[in-house]
Every structure is written in C-alpha cells, then in structure tokens.
A = this chain, B = another copy of it.
Amino acid sequence: MAKGASLSGFPEWLPEERVVEQQAIDTLRRIFELNGFLGIETRAVEQGSSLLKKGETSKEIYLLSRLQEVGQENDTPVEDRLGLHFDLTVPLSRYVVEHSGDVAFPFKRWQIQKVWRGERPQEGRFREFIQADIDVVGNGDLPSHYEVELPLVMVSALEALRAFGLPKATVHANNRKLSEGFYRGLGLDDIEGVLREIDKLDKIGADEVSKLLISECGATEAQAKACLELAELSASTGEELEREFRALCAKHGIEESSDAYALAAEGLSTLAMIVDEAARIRPGSVVADLKIARGLDYYTGSVYETFLDGAASLGSICSGGRYDNLATQGKKKYPGVGLSIGLSRLVSYMLHTAGAHANRQSPAAVLVAVWNEDERGEANRIAEALRSRGIATDVAPTAAKLGKQIKYADKLGIPYVWFPGQEGAGDEVKNIVTGDQEAADRTSWQPDTVYSRQTVEYGD
C-alpha cells in the first residue's frame, strides 16, 4: 500500500516497542522530578525570527503554511512565518522571557517533547524525534554549582535507563573559557573557527583537523599542533587537570600573568570543580576531556558530551552546556545550564541493539473469557470488579471457542485468563504461562507480582 508506506526519518513504533519508549520517558520524568525539576511543554511552533536568531539555517527548519494559503505563503518573509522547533532550548529561552514574571528563579525545568529537522535521514538520525531536556535558568546570574549538578542528574537518569539495556554512560566535560584562553594565548583569534574544526576530531582525525586549522583559521603549524595537544588532554581529577594544563601552557609559552591565561584559569577552575565534585558523588561519571568543543556557538562556559561504553557509533547521546546570552530581555540576561538527551536514537538502540522488549504487548494482566454472548454482561462485571482494584483487565472480543480466546490472550502476552463460573460454580483463573489454574474471587484475587505489571526487559 504505497500511500501508507513508512516515511523515512519519521520513526513509528509498534505497540510493544512503544512500551519501551513510554517507560523510558516515564523513567526520565521520574528522575527529573525526584531532583525537583518542573515539567513544562512548549508549543511545537516558533516564529521564524526565533528559529533563525542564531543563524541556525543549517538546522533544516520545517516551515508551516495553511492549506488555504498555498501559493501565497512566500509573500510573507520567513522571519514572520511559523516553523516547527528543532530543539527545546530555543523554545525555553523564549518561554522564560515571555513568562519571566510568573516563574520562580532559578527556574529548573524538564521537558520531553518531539522536535523536527528536515535533515537527510540516516542510521539513527531522524526528522522527527523526541528530546529529553533539563535546564536551570537564572534571572541575572546563575551559580556555577549547577554546572556540576545538571550533568549528574543526567548521569543518574542514564543510570536508570540501564534497566532498558543501555551501557554505562560517561560525561565528557570541557569549558569554552579554558579553550578560548588557551587559543588566544597561542595568538589565535578565530576562536569559533578553531572550535568548529576541533569539533571534527572524532570524524576526520588529527591530521585533517590540523590542515583545516592552518587553512581555515590562519594557524601556524606549531599553533595547530598546540591546539591538538590541548584536545588530547583528559583528566579525572581537578588536580591532574590543573597540572597538565599548566605544563601545556608553559610548553607553549602562555604566560600565567596574561589576560588569555586569566580567562583560561576561570574555565579551568570550574572544570576542576566539576570533575572533583562529580567524583565525590558519582565516581567515574564525569571526566575532563579538552577536545569537547560543541558546534553551537551559544555556549559560554562548560560544555558536555556523553558517550556510552561500547556504543561509539551512537556518538554523543546527551549534550549541553552553559549559555549566558541565549535569553535576554533588554539589558536583562537569563543565563542557563542545560543538557539534552536525544531519546529517539537511544530508544532505537534499546530496541535494535540491546534487545529491549516489553514483557507483554497489552497492559492487561487478565483476559476474562466469554462463554457465550448472552453472558458478556457477567464477564464485564468481573472485569469491572478487577479494574476497581487496579488490575488491568481485558474481555474476550468474541465468545469464540476457548482455544481461540486463549490464543488472543497469548498473542497480546496477557498472562491470566479468567473463567466465569457457570451453573453455580465459582470463578477460576488460569496462568497461561505456567499452566496453573485455581479458584479465584474477583473481589480479592491478586496476580503474582512477576505477572502483575507491564515491564521492560532486555537481552535476547
């Protein structure tokens, strides 16, 4: 059926796959709320002017036009049209400014929503996908302790997703001020350019990046080499980080008294605080990794990327950073720190690599059998009695032969079939997984714990 064919880049899960996605979302929400984040949802559309504000034309925005206006939509400049949001950060910054009088600052929010990008679909890259974000936004200023706390909330969220087959996650942190100070100390000026090339390290390797630094950013061969040496630096304690960074500055002649060094030192101290504090709370969860650059130019301090052990092909699955200038209102600034999980890609990994699957397709724990259509009313009453005690219950679609009713339960993974008592006999319930059958009272029977709830398991 051609018209109904799947659309490339718009993933849609089957019901049993959707259970995995829904429970992953529930899990993230639980962790975010446990940490005191407030849930919001923003409209799916933003003004073109907001979407294009940061020069994000590369984001492949989807613009809307009303069917009745087809043919005239281009009379309206793109800035005045509506487009679908391509992330949840731009909408947050607009939301905070719009509602600044109505939210308490620092404003800690979680948001799990679909975003859309008209990019060419690839393995794990979708045109419609779910992001799961947390951010904290201050009014005027924002304490730096959030730069360690937010990645740690994400670490604990990703830890909770290990129940769905995700490997251990490690946050790799860097600081823009540290990188910028170092590059300036070397005599480089095109900071954004250098960050952009360094961001390509994993993709194209050091040799190619070195060439680009020379050809695109005006670096000498020695400067390019120094930039790559900085990118090689990683550390799991603040003390190690500081020692190695000082040694690198000394090697390349960056004076500790220079303005450039002072800028780098600011970033260095925040980054050292992050790895040390993280090591105290969750050892091994956060490392300093000075090749982390992040493509987006609105980051002004800490930047984060997160990798899963043994799943390099996924790339960074949770990224973010500190942004001081994204949301402004006149002279007022709303600095923020935030991280975003690309959830659809993770769900795809859970389903297709980790073998995550629902223990059953239906939420129902019981199917009530129907002996004949005249007795459907009694089956419905049994179902109501079970539901009133919180037991999810389905009723057989038809009074087909018993084998067919059991087959329907089996296909949906419903573990129990309830047999209404006939001719004065009592009700019985059969566990169709174990084969056990027993007398049961609709007002007191409970399913065994292992069969009571729809859950997610993983592995083959």
Contact of A363 among B3, B37, B145, B390 (CB under 8 A): B37
Q: Is A441 an interface residue (CB 8 A)?
A: no
Which one of A93-101, A227-235, A254-262, A316-324 contacts B? A93-101
Q: How far is the CB of A415 from chain B (nearest CB, A)?
A: 13
Q: Is A64 an interface residue (CB 8 A)?
A: yes
A66–B70 touching, CB < 8 Å: no
List CB contacts (< 8 Å) of A27-61 with chain B. 33-45, 47, 49-50, 57, 60-61
A14–B83 touching, CB < 8 Å: no
* Number of chain A residues close to chain B: CB under 8 A: 97
CB neighbours (8 Å) of A364 from chain B are 36
List CB contacts (< 8 Å) of A374-417 with chain B. 376-377, 380-381, 384, 387, 390-395, 397-398, 408, 411-412, 414
A15–B34 touching, CB < 8 Å: no
A64–B67 touching, CB < 8 Å: no
Determine the distance from Cα of A299 to Cα of B47 in the docked complex, in whole angstroms: 38
CB neighbours (8 Å) of A128 from chain B are 43-45
Copies of this protein in the complex: 2
Determine the distance from Cα of A45 to Cα of B376 in the docked complex, in whole angstroms: 39
Interface residue ranges, A against B (CB under 8 Å): 1, 3-7, 10-15, 18-19, 21-22, 33-45, 47, 49-50, 57, 60-68, 70-71, 73-74, 78, 82-84, 94-95, 97-99, 102-104, 106, 108-109, 114, 116, 118, 128, 143, 145, 149, 277, 280-281, 329, 361-364, 367, 373, 376-377, 380-381, 384, 387, 390-395, 397-398, 408, 411-412, 414, 454
13 contacting pairs across A/B (C-beta < 8 A):
A3-B49, A7-B47, A13-B40, A34-B390, A38-B362, A44-B116, A44-B128, A61-B66, A62-B64, A62-B66, A63-B65, A64-B64, A67-B83
